[in-house]
Structure 1
Amino acid sequence: MKRSAIKGLIGFILLLFTYPLLAASLLSPGDRLAIIQPGEPAFEQPFQINKQGELVLPEVGSINVMGKTLSQADEMIRHALKPVYKNLSQLTISLLEKRLLISVMGYVKKPGNYELSPDGNVQMAIDAAGGLVPGAQLNNMQVRRKNDVSNFDYKRYLDTGDASLLPPLESLDVVFVPASPLIGNVQIDFDAATLAAGGDGDTEKAIKVFGEVNNPGAFSFKSGNSIVDLLMRAGGVTRFAGVERIRVINGSSPELFDLKAYLDSGNNKLLPNLAPGATIFVPKDEEQIKKGARTIYIMGEVFKPGAYEGREGDTFLDILANAGGPTRYAESRQIKLLRTNGSVEPIDLQAYTEGLKTDLPIVKPGDAIFIPEKTDMNEKSWLKVAPGRAVMVMGAVLIPGRYEWSDEMSLLDLIAHAGGPNERADIAKVQILTTQDGQATPTIFDLDKFLHQGGSLSSLPKIRAGFTIMVPELPTDPSDNKSQWVRQSPDSSIYIFGQVGAPGRYAFNEQLGFIDILSAADGPTAAADLRNVRIAHRNGSNARVTKLDLALYFETGDENLLPKVLPGDSIYLPEKNRPWLDEPKENTIRVLGAIARPGRYRFNSSMTLLDLLAEAGGPTGSAYIKKIVVINMAVSGQGDQARTFDLDKFAKEPDFSQLPVLREGDTVFIPDSQSSNWAIFMDGMKDILTTISVVALVGSL
């Protein structure tokens, strides 16, 4: 028979003998059962009883089988599965193996829950947890089973190998390995030598050393040992030790020991006497207030604020670096050095790091360095920036408010910090309110001109902390809200009146011209007299008026015809058809006699007598057109002159060179042929009639 067949037969025989034993034993947490339902994949894996003694079955959930025999569990499982699965005739339930669920806690390498074989013991549980760690107490281990605790001496078992010294284990037992009382209450890595150094004296005469030492403990008393010897046996003091105030208790007499003073002087008289049973306590450095002749204090936004002992030659940077340096919230421009005499010196550390400053103040013992918190501009409280460090920005900027000022900044930096001007800002009239000796003085700066034409940065106004910057707002449409005009200075305005679409007051600067301001006022209306536009110049010591023939400009496009207008000037466009009495006689020509519409008429150099007669409606039917009288005003001291014009002859033989010359202020008279003897009189009248007789005649008419 082959060897493999023999092994299979032996295994089957063992199963026949062991199965009744397994079936008769009680089920406990950790046991593994095979529940097979053909055709159901959910039953292909073994099922293990959890720590609560439950099996979790598919489609059913948890059922508690702890403490049951396998046959009892078989009946419970079939009863639970019957409502879900119709055919359970082929369902088989068997116990695959028994397991122990053990928890190992305490001073082991890997505390946790572990599965052991049914014959598992404490040794196997500790091995499963990775073994013991240094500091474990071997002679007082525990096995906890519910509320019962069994102590055992594992060290004795290791010494003798007697397995009977180990308590038996059951599922859900807890093996606990306590820590040795020699290791103290701080978890550290150490070896056996370190553990032994934690103390070697008896409780009556040993000297107890604790506090900020590396290896606190009780040490045997030896005559001649000093406090320094005991501190060395305790591993020395830690970096947190307050070595200036070590406490020593000999019997009932406490005293203070300054280790630093002893090390600085080497005077053995400073060493306290130690008696058997003495106590030495090294406190923490933070528990004391440091002060002394060489102490320098650093506070505020540093990583390690506190009191530091300065030495000869220590600089500000040495002390700052010793305190860990400024934090990310530190305001490095506003550091304060508080002198012992009460004076305060500012330190701009950022300017020093950028090379703008070449020296830092000398720090002396007793001085205090204060590094304030950086100002948060989103902080609601503006009191975080002192008035002596702030500049106020108001008016037409996106973010008006108070801003912290530094002398490296300029007006452009400040306005940019405020978000820049908004769309309504009049940057040509930026107002800067300076303060000095309690007096405020406003100045105006043309930022628009600087931005367009450039210039030296030195021409920018000098800003200092405490100043106020006002960016004025351009006025709104005067047709919408005339009350807004008060926001605009008259010195930056042009006034336009009369026959324009929107008369009013308009913002103006030197880059704009006459046509710009006329366009802003929506241009002339249909009733505007373009040939008699008047500009009142008010920017000089005396007002003067310029006359503009705007119609001629539109006909020729000659820019030389347009006058130069400046802020403060006024423009007036008169009405074309206003009453003739509103016109000065020097600016019109009088048309009298037998004419359709006698009166005053505007006249310019491009017009002739024919144009004037046509504008007046032409002569009447009774007009005596052969002797039209034209009276010219005095020119260059020559006196008034009169001449006649034969319109009838001109109509038959046109010769425009024979038309009389007309100027503003002249008079044209058309006689009426129906007047008595008028025609006979006029036929005998010559062109050489004196001016006085004609004027008298006209005056009588």
Structure 2
Amino acid sequence: MIQKIKKCFFVFLLLQASLTSYAQSVDELSDEDIQKFMQQAQESGMNEEQLAAAAAAKGFTASDIVKFKERIEKLKSSKKAVGIKSSLNQRTVDSTDIQASERDNKKQVIDEKAEDRRMKIFGLNIFNNQTLNFEPNLNIATPKNYVLGTNDELSIDITGYAYAHYDAKVNPDGNIKIENLNPIFVAGQTLEQAKVKIVQRLKTLFGGLGNGGLSADVTLSKIRSIKVTVIGEAVFPGTYTVPSLATAFNVLYAAGGPTDIGSLRNIEIFRKGKKVRMLDLYDFLLRGDLTDDIGLIDQDVVLIPYVDKRVIINGAVRNPKIYELKAGDNLGSLIGFAGGFGETAYSKSIRINRVTDTEMKILKVSKEEISKFGLLKGDIVIVDSLLNRYENRVSIKGAVFRPGDYELETGMTLKKLVAQAEGLKPEAFKSRALLFRERPNADPEILPLNLSELLNDTAEDIVLQKNDSLVIKTIAGTRELRTIQLDGEINKPSVIPYVENITVSDAILLAGGLKDGANVARIEVARRVKADGGDGDQNVQIIQIQVDPSLGILDKDKRTLLKPFDRVYVRKMSRYEVQRTVSITGEINYPGPYTLNDKKERISDLIEKAGGTKGQADLGSAKFTRNGVQMGIDLKKAFFDKNSNQNLLLNPGDVLEIPRRKETVTVLGQVYNPITVPFDQGLNLKDYISLAGGTTDSAYVKKIYVKYGNGKISRTKYFAGINSFPKIENGAEIYVPLHKKQRWTSAERIAVSSAVVSIATVLLTLVLRVVP
């Protein structure tokens, strides 16, 4: 008892702190805040009055406390308060109260396995669907059979030559009060009964009421709340406060529906200790029938008992699941629950796995017994699918106009099958067709046949059997793909399909025709030699052919027919050339591109064609480029000595660039003052380096080189301690490279020193041995 008082006091302080921290008025509190307070109060055993006292102690006004109570009632009657009971001192129901195992009946939290099982049980998924709404509709007209009770509010209007309006609430005694009239008892009466009673009493105030001058209208303006208890195998069992218009379905949905071991078909409604209705949810789930959805009154009890009989149906039905059966249900009923057989169901017989007292056994139910066969708890019904076999099928494939499967008629022959397929195509290979047939042991075999003889009635027709399959190949499908290859002076060298009676001109036309330089008198056809053995070594036959340049039709061309796999090569005219051009730019009289007259033209000829050089031309610095690469050509020697090896033959695309005379020399690299100075024929390399301030300490004098304007490079030569430096010409560039001296590491110096000491020691030892 002391512990309970301490706990209440602790929660009292907690609620005070919570109210202070969250808001200073009830309007500022969210539904989640109030529900949290209610749950805390439930855990401590506090009732609504104690909770209100806690709020008053923190300075909340009386109107706030009234609003607080109204918010509590609203939450309890709404969907948000699922699991919240009408009395705060009742037990809170949470997920730890849900039974998830049918075998051990232990209380466990719903886990993924339990949810998976619920999804397999027909009907339970409807209670998990958030898009469905089973809340009662409070906006409909009041039903005539609605029974009034405490807290119902009536709206009474007097109309006619006088007007009056009264709001009357049914008090706990079952009475309503109107002005000075005595209390009118209406509890337990329907709205129609109460209206008659109220109008009769109002006549004492309004004399003409009911005589045509005045009329009275009595309506229900606000319905009361009732308390309904859900017990048994509900997901959230408990007491629920719901509107008085709520039905059994409304409460079941609020309670989460049955658990995975609860019944969907035997839900009982108790009223004042007596069972008033038995609900079968299958009526609604399968047919949409809500006839048994009874309206509830205060203190009704909804009982969800354990499920009695469940069976499983798998296989070729439209909705394989776990179904609950009642007395009178049989195998036919189960198949109906599952939506009937699927399109490929094998309905001739159905297999059933049944549990006995000692082991399992299999039952076979014929089609005729389905509607009479009774099922037992735990039966597993298996509806097989049809085998991928046909009892009267033959087929024809390949070169027929309508290949496919056909019905095997009595006495049907192969010739009739071809006729049903609308005959053979022209390309059909008639010499051999293949008939695939199953032997009695299901091994396949092939029966070859000659279609020509069969269709001409020179061979005996074949009677077909079940699953026979006739395969007819095309002529093209029985040989290598026949082609003709064309190369050489043809617009589109390619490989084309071979066709009968094709000539060389035909093939060239299909390949886009001849190029301008084609030699129609030098056409070769390479043909395979189809022979085996013999003494000859020839594998390919070469045939020389001439055609009309315009590809016109000649008599001899008609007779020159190609054969499969021929290769046609069209040669080019020996003296035919496309225009070839070279280019010359710079200090030349007529720069630009020039076409080569023949293959003998050289560099000097190109300069003469371009009108010779201008006065400021520097032939020594001319650049000659071939295929994008500069070549080191001495153009002076090429121009003045036409027999020189520098006077190269020209190739298409060659470019000759003759620059203007620079009259300068440039010194670069490891000098103190890299510089460009005027060219002086009387100065040598050393003189120019001196003009640049001389070489630095890091200069590699032995490697000095000179680059000339034509791209050639001349380097310093060293022999017997004497340097021979290159000659300097107009426009030259002198490069003094860096001398990268290799420095030894400490380890290398130590290794060399050790080696020197070792060698000296050996030599000294030898000398001492020789000297007496």
Both structures adopt the same fold (TM-score exceeding 0.5)? no
**Length-normalised TM-score, structure 1:** 0.30
**Length-normalised TM-score, structure 2:** 0.28
